[in-house]
């Protein structure tokens, strides 16, 4: 088959007719499919159910390691054993970890709110007093990250993504502006491209010299243990905090993580790892907000996983559930889109998403066509700041939640819609 770009007008018209026929057939099925959000499926959730049995009315002791009763007030920074667990997950010393909240998004929001209201170590004032504040946003990225920045009045500055992470020349240039207060990153199995930052990129992050004395790298390592295990391949990155500390720049780093997609998205745990100074500062604010996190739930997680090895073995079971879904999506993408040449996509080694780069100017139309045929996908533009994809070409596919049986139909609708949009565009 010819590439679309090489087809004559007549060939395109013939292809259009074919696609419209296929599209009408799919539409007539009246399906209701959804590949829009990165949600674990019920089978994944079921893996964590035994955790709910671990602490119960027969439990003999409710004391955590430092002697506190996990049922009562106190221990604002989280119980020691759970800080240690997250220290292993995030690759940071336990004493540099605070466990609170239920998602890394939640902690990102809280840290931004903290900076806006109270300021951060090294800074001269609360960020609310910096009227021109800017946030660097490597994109394609996570829509909810950008939304938090926008809500708090940051100007969002797009940083292009390379195959090995954000374009560091651009980052190093942009941080010379002292109104640039931070950058939000998903360094491993990124949302949505599944990109893992190279060691070189991480090292350059660890050695940034920003103009703003209270500049921060928000390092949302949400997918650090979410390997997809295609033939056992795993990505690893060095600990940004440890590298930055070696450079005397540990205060620049907040590493975030959670068990949202490890145990239960609503009933999981979140953690931040940072320098001693930042941890003391954030703990101080937390001590006003709260007289302690849900320590019973922290202990549930500790007893369920025991250590990083326990987490990884649990994630192996998760990948066995979701890998076939990714395989199905990739298979349909390949069979439908590779020959026409109007799309590229990534094959992630982990994380929750596949990102498809369609022909320029066709992403929005594709979403509309998908919707009309009963398939919900993340809106076009969502992966860019302000929801504006300059090329109108990137779409995010979230394969985990839908039953594997629904994915062939969903992906056929997606691909037919993408091809039809491309042909329509070429015929204009």
Chain residues binding a copy of itself by CB under 8 A are: 37, 39-40, 42, 45, 48-50, 52-53, 55-57, 59, 62, 69-75, 101-103, 105-106, 109-110, 113, 116-118, 126, 128, 144, 147-148, 151-152, 260, 264-267, 285, 288-297
Question: Which residue, 24 or 52, has its beta carbon nearer to a copy of itself?
Answer: 52
Residue nearer to a copy of itself on the CB measure, 127 or 197 = 127
Give the C-alpha separation, 375 to 368, whole Å. 9
Length of the chain: 428
Which of 52/427 has CB closer to a copy of itself? 52
Instruction: Tell me how far, at minimum, the Cβ of 129 lies from a copy of itself, in Å.
Output: 8
Beta carbon of residue 398, minimum distance to a copy of itself (angstroms, whole number): 12
Distance separating alpha carbons of residues 131 and 12, to the nearest angstrom: 52
Nearest CB to a copy of itself, comparing residues 188 and 295: 295
User: Burial level of 1, CB count in 10 A (0-12/13-18/19+)?
Assistant: exposed
Q: How far is the CB of 266 from a copy of itself (least distance, A)?
A: 4
Between 286 and 369, CB nearer to a copy of itself: 286
Are 126 and 117 in contact by the 8 Å Cβ rule? The answer is yes
Q: How far is the CB of 255 from a copy of itself (least distance, A)?
A: 19
Residue closer to a copy of itself by CB (options 55, 308) is 55
Nearest distance from C-beta of residue 150 to a copy of itself, angstroms: 9
Min separation Cβ 170 and a copy of itself, Å: 27
């Amino acid at each position: 088959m010819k590439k679309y770009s090489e087809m004559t007008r007549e060939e395109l018209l013939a292809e259009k007719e074919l696609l419209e026929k296929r599209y009408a057939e799919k539409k007539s099925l009246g399906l209701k499919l959804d590949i829009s959000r990165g949600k674990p499926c019920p089978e994944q959730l079921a893996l964590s159910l035994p955790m709910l049995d671990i602490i119960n009315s027969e439990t003999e002791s409710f004391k955590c390691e430092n002697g506190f009763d996990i049922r009562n007030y106190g221990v604002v920074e989280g119980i020691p054993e759970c800080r240690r667990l997250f220290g292993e997950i995030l690759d940071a010393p336990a004493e540099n970890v605070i466990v609170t909240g239920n998602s890394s998004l939640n902690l990102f929001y809280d840290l931004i709110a903290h900076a806006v209201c109270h300021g951060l170590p090294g800074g001269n004032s609360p960020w609310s007093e910096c009227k021109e504040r800017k946030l660097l946003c490597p994109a394609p990225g996570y829509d909810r990250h950008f939304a938090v920045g926008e809500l708090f009045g940051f100007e969002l500055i797009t940083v292009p993504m390379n195959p090995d992470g954000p374009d560091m020349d651009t980052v190093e240039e942009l941080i010379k502006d002292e109104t640039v207060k931070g950058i939000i990153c998903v360094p491993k199995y990124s949302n949505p491209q599944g990109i893992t930052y190279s060691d070189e990129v991480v090292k350059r992050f660890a050695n940034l010299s920003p103009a703003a004395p209270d500049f921060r790298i928000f390092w949302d390592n949400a997918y650090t243990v979410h390997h997809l295990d295609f033939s056992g391949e795993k990505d690893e990155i060095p600990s940004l905090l440890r590298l930055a500390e070696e450079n005397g720049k540990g205060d620049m780093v907040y590493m975030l993580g959670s068990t949202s997609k490890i145990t239960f998205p609503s009933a999981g745990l979140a953690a931040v790892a940072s320098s001693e100074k930042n941890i003391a500062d954030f703990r101080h604010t937390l001590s006003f907000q709260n007289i302690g996190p849900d320590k019973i739930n922290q202990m549930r997680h500790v007893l369920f996983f025991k250590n990083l090895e326990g987490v990884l073995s649990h994630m192996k079971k998760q990948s066995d559930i979701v890998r076939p879904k990714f395989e199905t999506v990739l298979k349909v993408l390949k069979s439908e889109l590779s020959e026409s040449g109007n799309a590229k996509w990534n094959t992630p080694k982990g994380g929750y998403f596949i990102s498809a780069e369609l022909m320029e100017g066709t992403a929005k139309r594709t979403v509309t066509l998908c919707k009309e045929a009963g398939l919900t996908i993340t809106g076009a533009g969502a992966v860019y700041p302000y929801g504006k994809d300059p090329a109108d070409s990137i779409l995010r596919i979230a394969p985990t939640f839908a039953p594997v049986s629904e994915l062939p139909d969903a992906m056929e609708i997606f691909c037919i819609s993408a091809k039809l949009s491309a042909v329509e565009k070429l015929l204009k």
